[in-house]
Amino acid sequence: MDLNKVMIIGRLTRDPEARTTSTGHNVTSFGVATNRVWKDKEGNRQEKVEYHNVVTWGKLADICSQYLHKGSKLYLEGRLQTRQWEGQDGIKRYRTEIIAGNMIMLDTKAAAPQTVAAPPEPTPEPEKETPQEESPEKEEVKVEDIPF
């Protein structure tokens, strides 16, 4: 039996970036930082930060792009995926990402954390992604108005 499951709690390191693929699928990517704290042999407190690349698809991508921002604290569940491509310089490049399927926003003003589950994502087409147009005026959203 194999298992590829990721669970992290962390904070966004940058605002989410929303795009639409050439086939019309919505995708949002962002970074999340997690901290690990421990004491060394001498009893001194040590801390290490890990940075994770996260990708969401479909309805979850829409929600992430609308409600998350740099500094948001959240819980994510997903799986690891590594993709490769050849750069313009001819060098093969790799990127490991968390493909998130579930998210809980942890710093909302609502009484309880909100959970969002995503349907299975389509097969990505990273080379053919086009930026999603943003409306010039973004409506301010109140957490209490979120429908989930």
Name the nearest CA neighbour of 98 among 54, 139, 145, 50.
54
Over 70: is that where the pLDDT of 144 sits?
no
C-alpha–C-alpha distance, residues 74 and 8, integer Å: 8
pLDDT digits (tens, 9 = 90+) for 55-85: 999 999 999 999 999 999 999 999 999 999 9
Which CA distances in Å does 143 have to 58, 94, 105, 110, 114? 20, 37, 10, 7, 10
pTM higher than 0.75 for the full model?
no
Domains and CATH numbers, the chain: 6-40+48-145 (2.40.50.140)
Dump pLDDT digits (tens) for 5-26: 999 999 999 999 999 999 999 9
Structure tokens at 78: 């997903």
